[in-house]
Chains A and B, each alone.
Chain A
Amino acid sequence: MTTNLTTRSKNTSISRRQVMIGAAGLSFAFVLGGPLARAATLATEPTGKALSPWVSIAPDGTITIMSAATEMGQGSMTSLPLILAEDLDADWSKVQVVAAPPIDAIYGNPGFSGMMYTAGSNAVRSYYLSLRTFGAQVRRVLLDNAASKLGVPVEELMTEPSVVVHAKSGRRLTYGDIAAFAQVPDKPPEIKPEQLKKPSQFRLIGKDVMRVDVPGKVNGTARYAIDVQVPGMLYGAVLRAPVEGAAPDKFDESRAAAVAGVIKVIRMPYGVGVVAETPWAAFQAREALSHSTTWTKSGKAWAFDSEKGLEDFAAAARDLKSEAAEWSRSGEPRDALTRAASTFDAEYRCDYAYHAQMEPLNAVAAVSQAGDSVEIWCGTQSQTTAQEASAKALGIAREKVKLNYLLMGGGFGRRGPRDADFVVDAVLLAKEAGRPVKVMWTREDDVHNGRFRPLSAHYLRAGFDDSGKVAVYHHRLVGDRVTPSFDPVRYESRGRKDFILMVGADFGGYDVPHQLVEQLYRDTGVRTAPLRGISWTANKFAVETFVDELAVKRSIDPVAYRLELIKDPRARRVVETVARMAEWGKKRDGRGMGFAFLNYSDSLVAGAAEVSLERSTGNVMLHNFWCALDCGIAVQPDNVAAQTESSIVYGLGLALMERISIKDGTVEQSNFYDYLVPRMSDVPLMHIDVISTDNPPTGVGQMATPLVTPAIGNAIAQLTGTRLRHAPFTPERVKKALA
């Protein structure tokens, strides 16, 4: 069990014996702390390089390991340090986890070109080999020091958790003992991948431990940004423009200023801000402003209506003359389509969806009187963008932004935009107020100013050969752009590709020789973002429903049909496992069964849904969901299962109820009465099989989410013969489809 979780970066003890060690493109300081350790000073090494430790070991045996990923419930704050601890052979009960300071060069995520960003379920995958190597290097230095102290060849030493053992003489030195005298070599020991532990030697990886953030989450002590209070702090609220790009035109300041406790009403570039003595005063003033504020008609989305927009998207998707850009291609799909013995086509649609993380967006900022530095407290998926956007807002250097990042009450993709909108609110208001300000968004703000899973329409076409086998896959996707607005920097660096919209649109995992995915780019001006499951949720709804339709057309069982198309043994195994778990093929009175499979960034996942339907209302009930996941080495198996349960529930919301609509550019929903999310009464019994294999670990945080919509839709089709083509399957839509 780990104790003393620190969720904010803090000064970490470093002794004079410190040295840079480079590995796998990252640098870290290996630190053995002395009893009179001094506070870390960054960038003061003679090399001029920023310096901060990944690991430090105190003479009392405490091992401090930095956590570079941010924690939003997915468990990275435990699993990343645990991976390092594995090859260090650390006693986990002596490990203390500390949030790493925001230094990209040391702690950046290799999966995101070195920016500090926790997203895409890639933290474990991206840091895995580096962290294991760091751990092994530190262990090696401890062994070498023990060898010289004991006067024995290093080959005669081994380790037990946090202890170096000389079996011949029975002598033992704890890591803390060694820390008190150790000398650190100028150059780090070289560790090759084959020198790392074999999975059979793991003491921590694959063995469930108490997540370090969890004890504080049952007694109210876990700290989120919204809980932060600093001396002299005021409270802020912002009435934001309903449309991106619009600005406040006129507003009646007097009614807001008349609210007791209001200190200042502030015109901002994108809204009207209020600072007050209490949150309630700030919210009341914001409410008063909402009745009087008018907006400039600048901004693109004002004329946009999502219902009509989606019709236009769908028309363009099916109109093969409508110009499209090639997104991906294999084989010769265009020729193959003209040669096909027959073809089959189908259309699907998805609505905008909202993250609904439980902690409304918020941040605390304290700007220096001169306006030349700022301290921030926030919950962010990206330390890099939070810091950069704050610096940009004040026109100061990034180093002048002191960032404290705390636990997040959910992220799901909302907390990582390049412009860090919710952090900048606090920075701007704190600057104007001349005092620290905590800005909180109301739930209504959070919905109205959400950044949504994009609206999309899909036209899919299959071409068959003479034997009736599918030879060509063609997917035309018309969707609202995401990457250019959510993260213009990565959009440019990734060759102006809207990968956030397009991921999962391919026929990945299925052995079909000719494949073509095309994008019809649309920019409605509506705010968009990756949302849990990214665009796999929409794209695999289309793909996996289409596969089901192909199976029905050929009168083959959908599981058998998938197995005809899947070659990869790991993929076949998850499909077969779920079929077995769900007793696929068993007749069930009044219930339908539906299946879905995907290869989600090398995590293989399959699911089966058992549903029933109330025809009079159109209500769909999901009774059971079976899911198998092969994520390579399951670093924390119970957490993998927990993340999968969580992914399924999130997917259930997207499948049946979660829908944002836009009218005149404005979001029509406001709170949990008109944006419904799954409650306990909605969730099925979930049966999860985590298949841990010796492959490198891949993501687990959202892999099951995209299974749920197609699995439910396919189950409804099996039950009723009616195909649901527009997600979510709200009661009204289901009723209409069945009529």
Chain B
Amino acid sequence: MTTNFTVNGRAASTDAPPATPLLWVIREELKLTGTKFGCGTGLCGACMVHIDGKRGFSCQTQVSEMAGKSVTTIEGLSADSSHPLQKAWLAEQVPQCGYCQSGQIMSAADLLEQNPKPTRAQIVAHMSTNICRCGTYQRIVRAVERAAREA
């Protein structure tokens, strides 16, 4: 069975079995490898994408749920790293190993979409879904604050 949906504004389709996590379709079929596999259980946020404008764990979303939906991945956030969060991430030199950062940025983008001027406490509450094993959290807070300021 073919599932049709949209990824980064373009039509996409997959014949993957319905229970297949969206993550594997994005990464291995569509070759958008910026979205990462971290835990497979919705606990770390490395796989975070936007589904119909809201953040979602792509490892916890089955292909069967995707028909007609619209997905944005890190590759679709901007064409040239020009999203205010991406600029802020560079300005604050957030990434270390970098593996979780696509998911962090997608989570943060969802936050700013809902709440353009979050308080520090709101940032912490929202971003605690995402694990960064390099512990870049202090810089992530600064980068989200910067992006909110400069957006």
Interface residues of A (CB under 8 A from B): 72-75, 208, 210-211, 213-224, 226-227, 229, 235, 260, 278-280, 283, 356-360, 407-412, 440, 442-443, 638-639, 642-643, 645-650, 652, 671-673, 677-681, 683, 685-686
Contacts and interface: CB of A to CB of B under 8 A. Distances in A.
B28 A678 contact: no
Contacts of A358: 36, 38, 44, 46, 97, 99-100, 131-133
Contacts of A680: 123-124, 127-128, 130, 132, 137, 140-141
A408 B98 CA distance: 9
Given A278-B28, A357-B133, A645-B138, A218 B95 contact: yes
Contact of B41 (A217, A221, A356, A671): A671
Contacts of A411: 97
A214 B137 contact: no
A218 B96 contact: no
7 contacts: A210-B90, A219-B74, A409-B97, A410-B133, A642-B136, A642-B139, A643-B96
B61 interface: no
A681 B96 CA distance: 19
B135 A648 contact: yes
B6 interface: no
A218 B81 contact: yes
Question: Which of A357, A407, A680 has the most chain B CB within a 10 Å cutoff?
Answer: A680
B119 to A, nearest CB: 14
A426 B41 CA distance: 24
B57 interface: no
B67 interface: no
Contacts of B132: 358, 680
Interface in B78-116: 78, 81, 86, 89-90, 93-102, 105
B150 to A, nearest CB: 15
Contacts of A643: 96
Contacts of B34: 219-221
A643 B135 CA distance: 9
Contact of A226 (B36, B81, B102): B36
B96 A220 contact: no
Contacts of A409: 36, 97-100
B1 interface: no
Contacts of A224: 36, 99
Interface residues of B, number: 59
B133 A645 contact: no
B17 interface: yes
Contacts of A226: 33, 36-37
B56 interface: no
Nearest to B88: A218
B4 to A, nearest CB: 19
Chief secondary structure at chain A's binding surface: loop
Given A220-B33, A357-B97, A680-B124, A280 B135 contact: no
Given A220-B33, A642-B96, A683-B138, A356 B128 contact: no
B40 interface: yes
Given A280-B20, A686-B138, A217 B98 contact: yes
B16 interface: yes
B58 interface: no
B151 interface: no
A222 B98 contact: yes
Given A280-B16, A677-B131, A220 B97 contact: no
A407 B123 CA distance: 29
Nearest to B129: A679
Contacts of A677: 131, 133
A412 B105 CA distance: 23
B37 A215 contact: no
Q: Of B130, B136, B137, which is in contact with the most chain A CB atoms at under 10 Å from its CB?
A: B137
Given A280-B21, A671-B41, A215 B81 contact: yes
| Most chain B CB neighbours (cut-off 10 Å) among A217, A223, A678 | A217
Contacts of A645: 135-136, 138-139
A642 B128 contact: no
A52 to B, nearest CB: 27
A374 B100 CA distance: 30
Given A214-B98, A221-B34, A360-B37, A642 B93 contact: yes
Interface string B57-80: 000000000000000011101100
B73 A74 contact: no
Contacts of A74: 96
Nearest to B20: A280
Contacts of B125: 681
Nearest to B100: A358
Nearest to B106: A220
A535 to B, nearest CB: 20
A681 B128 contact: yes
Given A214-B98, A215-B81, A219-B74, 9 more contacts: A73-B98, A219-B81, A356-B133, A407-B98, A409-B100, A678-B137, A680-B127, A680-B140, A681-B128
A646 B136 contact: yes
A678 B102 CA distance: 19
A214 B95 contact: yes
B12 interface: no
Contact of A220 (B17, B74, B94, B124): B74
Contacts of B100: 358, 409
Contacts of A221: 34
A683 B98 CA distance: 19
B16 to A, nearest CB: 7
B31 interface: yes
Nearest to A673: B43
Residue from B34, B35, B134 whose CB has the most chain A CB atoms within 10 Å: B134
A652 B137 CA distance: 13
Which 4 pairs show the lowest CB-CB distances between chains A and B? A220-B34, A649-B135, A409-B99, A217-B98
A357 B134 CA distance: 8
Contact of A672 (B32, B33, B131): B131
Residue of A358, A443, A638 ringed by the most chain B CB atoms within 10 A: A358
Contacts of B90: 210, 214-215, 218
Given A219-B81, A648-B135, A410 B99 contact: yes
A646 B138 CA distance: 9
A227 B33 contact: yes
Contacts of A260: 17
Contacts of B19: 280
Given A645-B138, A685-B138, A408 B28 contact: no
Contacts of B138: 645, 683, 685-686
B101 A218 contact: yes
B20 A672 contact: no
A701 B141 CA distance: 22
Contact of A359 (B32, B36, B89): B36
B97 A73 contact: yes
Nearest to A259: B17
A280 B41 contact: no
A443 B31 CA distance: 21
Nearest to A410: B97
Contacts of A213: 95, 98
A254 to B, nearest CB: 19
Contacts of B38: 358-360, 443
Contacts of B16: 278, 280
Contacts of A440: 37
A227 B36 CA distance: 9
A671 B43 contact: yes
A3 B76 CA distance: 22
A679 B98 contact: no
Contacts of A280: 16-17, 19-21, 24
Contacts of A649: 134-135, 137
